């Protein structure tokens, strides 16, 4: 689907080689965008001011889509609170500041669902984002990302700088991160089930009580939401990106067990944290402001993710 919006535009996509970024870049190319630059960490360390300045000098962009993040699941967040706060904070702050200095026409900042307060009423509405402290296990990461919202609004007010701030919920899909040290819940569960089947194990251990709920958002849907927001949305008010669904972790485990064919026992390690008690977004604003609505059926998305992982293991 080509639109005139992308014609002759130069785009920097930080994190463009990552999980979400690869889908965003693919959709940009399908829309006719020819000039996309993906800064690689070995060449541009986005936590270093000199590297960011050099990036904007090397590639004269019209739009920056900032997807890069230092991120992981609950365990990784507990082990790296300082690093996750610092790296994400300085990346966002300096990328936006130097984008402003370089007269970038639009800056698209990706926040995180972890920025919401721990006890946000469900469904999460964008206006609730400042009404409390985030869930403790990932608060440093969530707060670092949320600072881009404050920066975005301040820069629009003072400089007329066009930046937007999007809040995607938990992503999943083919090409996800399946590293058990840093993966999120869906890839972690798929890996446990498929590996247990392949190794003949009769038990898998799952963190928490299973009572917490989550909303899951297919990565290709998220990429489409980001593209539509870049094309059509020009305000600094935050916008949720999600599917508007909710499932308990216990029901999620049951579904992944069924879809992978694991027949063994599930043991719940209740000494491990559940994380935020509930998560489901109000996704009406994205549809009203830039016409985005998620399309992927959850069970179908899981099947595709499981199939991809199985192929990557055997491949």
At residue 154, the pLDDT reads 98
Chain segment 116-171, per-residue pLDDT in tens: 999 999 999 999 999 999 999 889 999 999 999 999 999 999 999 999 999 999 99
Q: Which two three-digit tokens encode residue 153?
A: 């609004």
Chain segment 34-61, per-residue pLDDT in tens: 999 999 999 999 999 999 999 999 999 9
Strand segments (E) across 42-158 = 63-66, 106-110
pTM score, whole prediction: 0.95
At residue 2, the pLDDT reads 54
d(CA 315, CA 313): 6
The residues that bridge with 207 in the sheet, in sequence order, are 269
Active site residue 141: yes
In 3-state terms the chain splits into helix, strand, coil percentages (rounded to 5) of 45, 15, 35
Catalytic residue among 141, 172, 218, 309: 141
- Kindly report the average pLDDT of the chain as a whole number: 95
Chain segment 203-239, per-residue pLDDT in tens: 999 999 999 999 999 999 999 999 999 999 999 999 9
At residue 56, the pLDDT reads 98
d(CA 64, CA 163): 9
Cα angle value 147/43/181 (rounded, 5°): 60
Chain segment 235-245, per-residue pLDDT in tens: 999 999 999 99
Domains of the chain with CATH codes: 4-172+215-245+278-296 (3.40.50.720)
Q: Which two three-digit tokens encode residue 288?
A: 């009203």
At residue 315, the pLDDT reads 65
At residue 273, the pLDDT reads 86
At residue 3, the pLDDT reads 72
Strand segments (E) across the chain = 10-14, 35-37, 63-66, 106-110, 163-168, 170-172, 203-207, 213-214, 216-218, 239-241, 247-248, 265-269
């Amino acid at each position: 689907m080509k639109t005139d919006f992308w014609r002759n535009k130069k785009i920097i996509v930080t994190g463009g080689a990552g999980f979400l970024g690869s889908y965003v870049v693919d959709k940009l190319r399908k829309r006719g965008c020819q000039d996309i630059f993906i800064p690689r960490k070995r060449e541009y360390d986005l936590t270093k001011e000199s590297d960011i300045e050099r990036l904007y000098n090397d590639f004269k962009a019209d739009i920056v889509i900032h997807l890069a993040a230092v991120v992981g699941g609950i365990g990784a967040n507990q082990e790296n609170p300082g690093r996750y706060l610092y790296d994400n904070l300085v990346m966002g702050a300096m990328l936006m500041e130097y984008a402003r200095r370089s007269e970038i026409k639009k800056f698209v900042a990706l926040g995180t669902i972890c920025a919401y307060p721990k006890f946000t009423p469900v469904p999460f509405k964008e206006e609730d984002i400042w009404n409390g402290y985030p869930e403790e296990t990932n608060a440093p990461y969530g707060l670092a990302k949320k600072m881009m919202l404050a920066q975005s609004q301040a820069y629009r007010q003072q400089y007329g700088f066009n930046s937007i701030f999007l809040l995607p919920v938990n992503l999943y899909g083919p090409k996800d991160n399946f590293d058990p040290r840093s993966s999120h819940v869906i890839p972690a569960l798929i890996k446990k089930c498929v590996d247990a089947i392949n190794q003949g194990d009769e038990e898998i251990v799952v963190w928490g009580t299973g009572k917490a709920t989550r909303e899951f958002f297919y990565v290709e849907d998220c990429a489409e939401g980001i593209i539509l927001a870049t094309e059509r949305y020009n305000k600094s008010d935050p916008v949720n990106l999600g599917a508007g669904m909710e499932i308990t972790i216990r029901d999620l485990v049951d579904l992944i067990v069924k879809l992978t064919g694991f027949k063994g026992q599930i043991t719940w390690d209740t000494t491990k944290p559940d994380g935020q008690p509930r998560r489901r977004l109000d996704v009406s604003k994205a549809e009203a402001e830039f016409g985005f609505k998620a399309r992927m059926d959850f069970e179908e998305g899981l099947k595709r993710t499981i199939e991809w992982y199985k192929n990557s293991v055997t491949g």
